[in-house]
Amino acid sequence: AAGVIQSPRHLIKEKRETATLKCYPIPRHDTVYWYQQGPGQDPQFLISFYEKMQSDKGSIPDRFSAQQFSDYHSELNMSSLELGDSALYFCASSSRGRGDTQYFGPGTRLTVL
Amino acid sequence: GDSVTQMEGPVTLSEEAFLTINCTYTATGYPSLFWYVQYPGEGLQLLLKATKADDKGSNKGFEATYRKETTSFHLEKGSVQVSDSAVYFCALVGAGGTSYGKLTFGQGTILTVHP
C-alpha cells in the first residue's frame, strides 16, 4: 500500500539559512499534519491542514510557515534556522471520512550547523 | 489541555518475557487512543488503536484496552521477541473542539529485548 512520502530524508543547513521540507500524503487523504521530534523527545505537533486550509496550529515558530497545495502535498518552510531547529520532522496524513487515523512518513532529519 | 503519561523507561526484558507498558491520559470527553512504535532510525508506525471505552486494540500480539474509569490504555504482550526492541509511544486525539485531530504523545518508552 502507498505510504506517506517525505523529502528530503536528510538535510544539513547552516545557521540563518532556509530549508523546505516536502510531504506527499497517502492518496485520497485530505488532511496533513506536521510534527517535530527533538533528540530523545516525543513528537510535538506543529501545524495541520484540511482540504488545503490550515486547520490547527501548535507550537510552530513564527519563522516557520507551511501550506497544502491543490494536489494535497504539503511543504514546511523554515527560515533563519537556529541550532535548536535540529530535529526529525514528521509528516502524517489521514482521511476525515475514514476514521482519521494518522499515518506517518519516514521523517526528514534536519541538522543545523 | 490533553496530556499522556507513560511509565518511565527504559524497559529491558529477556526474550519470551511478558511486557506491560503503562499509559494514562488526561482529556475531556472521549478521546481516541493509540500506540505507535518507532524502530531505530525509522518513522512512527501505528501499532494499535481504540476509539471508545472498553474497546480492545490488538496487532502483532500486542493488546491494549481503553479503560475510561481509570483513564488508561496499557500496552501488553505475552511473549516479546528481540525484534520488538523499539520506542513505544502512547498517544491520543482529542474528542473535538478547536484542536481537531492533532496527536498528543506520551514521552515514549524504550524497550530492549535480549536473547
Per-residue pLDDT reduced to its tens digit, B52-108: 899 999 999 999 999 999 999 999 999 999 999 999 999 998 766 545 678 999 999
Q: Chain A: nearest CA to B43, how far in angstroms?
A: 4
What per-residue confidence (pLDDT) applies to B96? Answer: 60
What per-residue confidence (pLDDT) applies to A21? Answer: 98
Q: What is the chain B residue with the closest CA to A6?
A: B43
Residue B31 in contact with partner chain A when CB distance is under 8 A: no
Across chain A, mean pLDDT equals 93
Pick among B7, B44, B45, B90 to test the A interface (most A CBs inside 10 A): B44
Q: Cβ separation of A92 and B108 shorter than 8 Å?
A: no
Q: pLDDT tens, B11-67?
A: 999 999 999 999 999 988 889 999 999 998 888 999 999 998 999 999 999 999 999
What per-residue confidence (pLDDT) applies to B8? Answer: 76
Q: Are A96 and A30 in contact (CB under 8 A)?
A: yes
Point out the residue among B43, B89, B98 whose CB comes nearest to the CB of A42: B89
Q: What is the chain A residue with the closest CA to B47?
A: A103
Residues 42-71 of B with CB under 8 A from A: 42-46, 49, 51
Q: How far apart are CA A36 and CA A43, in angstroms?
A: 5
* Contacts within 8 Å (CB) and 24+ apart, A93-99: A93/A4, A93/A23, A93/A25, A93/A26, A93/A29, A93/A31, A93/A32, A93/A33, A94/A29, A94/A30, A94/A31, A94/A33, A94/B101, A95/A26, A95/A28, A95/A29, A95/A30, A95/A31, A96/A30, A96/A31, A96/A50, A96/B101, A97/A30, A99/B51
What per-residue confidence (pLDDT) applies to B50? Answer: 94
β-pair partners for B6: B23
Point out the residue among B34, B102, B107 whose CB comes nearest to the CB of A45: B102
Point out the residue among B42, B101, B106 whose CB comes nearest to the CB of A42: B106
Point out the residue among B44, B99, B106 whose CB comes nearest to the CB of A104: B44
Q: Chain B: nearest CA to A91, how far in angstroms?
A: 10
Q: How far apart are CA A79 and CA A95, in angstroms?
A: 30
Would you write out chain A's pLDDT as a tens digit for each of its 113 residues? 789 999 999 999 999 999 999 999 999 898 999 999 998 889 999 999 988 898 888 989 999 999 999 999 999 999 999 999 999 999 999 987 656 789 999 999 999 99
The bridge status of strand A19-24 relative to strand A44-50 is unpaired
Q: Are B70 and B43 in contact (CB under 8 A)?
A: no
